[in-house]
Amino acid sequence: MNFIENGTVTSPKGFKAAGVVGGVKPSNTTKRDIMMIASDIPCTAAAVFTKNLVKSSAIEVTKKNISNGIAQAVIANSGNANTCNADGIEKAERMCELAAENLGIDKNDVIVASTGVIGQILPIEPFERAVPEIAALMSENGGTDAAEAIMTTDTVKKEAAVSVEIGGKNVTIGAVAKGSGMIHINMGTMLSFVTTDAAISSEMLRAALCEAVEVSYNMVSVDGDTSTNDTLAILANGVAGNEEITTRSADYTAFTQALTALCKMMAKKLAADGEGATKLMVCTVTGAKTVADAKGAAKAVICSSLVKAAIFGSDANWGRVLCALGYSGCDIDVTKVDVAFSSAAGEIYVCKNGAGIDFSEEKAKEILLEKEIVIKVVLNDGDGEAEAYGCDLTYDYVKINGDYRT
């Protein structure tokens, strides 16, 4: 498996995309905010969604449209979440109709998604104007424009692709994502669309997606808020020509491993670009009694506002890590816990067997001043391990969310 340089959601064969300035927000005249992704032929499809009881109308429409395991295109917008609106279903269905009319496909084969402010009516006029333009611009080089069109408070586009040999054929998987705030993913505001030219049944595609999401997107937290719009969808058109994957075979394993690696990369991109973030935080937990305990412990550390604030200040306050482990609800013997901080500047242990040890505060500070910080937790109580992704908590997070709506 190899990551593709400058890979995008259109790296797999048979996919095209485009994004344009539609003006979903009346004040927007420069930023792309409506996009489409489409396959030349119908695809097997699968998706997972937020577990928040308050959901975007787009999710309800997408669930209905892919209930048969088939889809061919995605239409999505930023600037408005289409959530908590009386006419939300109608607007989401109209988005699908416009995409279908202009792409020459069935409206029931369209995945629809929206992201942005909750509770404001989604204007349909920008889509009426923009979708024909998008359809005319669709190309194999349009992935990056599509990535920009779903950004909200994101500061960078999030896209990547991997290649893997399956059944003697070169298979490519591409992805695009957005997300910067309201991210405490429980799939179960983050959107991600994955494309692949692999031949794989919808049942196996969903199985692979669920495996991948549990150790990637579901291990991300920026601020502890689970979005109303979280959607992760995958389309597989089979153009690579491998024998269709219909069972949990060696080919399925190879595909799932490649998909998981891609999703982990995208998860890190999301965490690193958290609202106001200056540092990516990765918490690795090893030696847990179970994988579930490892996951719970890693997420507790990543979600701790006190840990996040300490990382922002480059303060090796390891007691906050122990505190988070203690309230995680996981089966942990706190007298066995070791903690270390590491980065490109080195590694330093700060806690052994649940107690503080002598360490150089100067060296710790040097390590914590880097852009990517690993909090290494060793529980010394089993074989369970997990990794979670987050970011530091800064002054700018409050500034961004203090006036997000207005």
Does residue 146 sit in the same domain as residue 16?
yes
Does residue 224 sit in the same domain as residue 148?
yes
Does residue 228 sit in the same domain as residue 308?
no
List pLDDT tens digits, range 166-211. 999 999 999 999 875 444 444 335 789 999 999 999 999 999 999 9
What percentage of the chain carries pLDDT values higher than 70? 93
Does residue 61 sit in the same domain as residue 153?
yes
Catalytic residue among 189, 195, 226, 284: 189
What is the pLDDT at residue 404? 54
Does residue 184 sit in the same domain as residue 248?
yes
Does residue 221 sit in the same domain as residue 294?
no
189 an active-site residue? yes
* 397 CB-near residues (< 8 Å, 6+ apart): 181, 223, 274, 275, 276, 277
Q: What is the DSSP string of 334-392?
A: GGG-EEEEEETTEEEEEEETTEE----HHHHHHHHTSSEEEEEEE--SSSEEEEEEEE-
Does residue 264 sit in the same domain as residue 293?
no
Give CA–CA dist 71/38, Å, rounded.
9
Instruction: Please give the residue range of the domain that contains residue 341.
Output: 280-402
Last residue of a domain, one of 255, 272, 289: 272
**Phi, psi (deg, nearest 5) at residue 85:** -115, 135
List pLDDT tens digits, range 270-318. 887 777 688 999 999 999 999 999 999 999 999 899 999 999 999 999 9
Q: Is the predicted pLDDT of residue 212 greater than 60, yes or no?
A: yes
What is the pLDDT at residue 186? 47
What is the pLDDT at residue 155? 78
Total domains, the chain: 2
Does residue 136 sit in the same domain as residue 188?
yes
* Residues 80 and 116 sit within 8 Å (Cβ to Cβ): yes
Does residue 395 sit in the same domain as residue 259?
no
Q: Hey, what amino acid is at 390?
A: G
CATH number of the domain encompassing residue 338: 3.10.20.340
What percentage of the chain carries pLDDT values higher than 90? 77
The whole model's pTM is what?
Answer: 0.86
**Phi, psi (deg, nearest 5) at residue 31:** -100, 130
Closest Cα to residue 299, out of 310, 315, 283, 312? 283
Closest Cα to residue 222, out of 164, 280, 170? 280
Last residue of a domain, one of 272, 305, 330: 272
Does residue 151 sit in the same domain as residue 230?
yes
Does residue 240 sit in the same domain as residue 291?
no
Q: What is the DSSP string of 98-122?
A: HHHHHHTS-GGGEEEEEBS-TTSPP
Does residue 113 sit in the same domain as residue 163?
yes
Tell me the average pLDDT of the chain.
91
Q: What is the mean pLDDT of residues 390-404?
A: 73
Give CA–CA dist 188/171, Å, rounded.
26
Q: What is the mean pLDDT of residues 79-89?
A: 91
Q: Is the predicted pLDDT of residue 135 greater than 50, yes or no?
A: yes
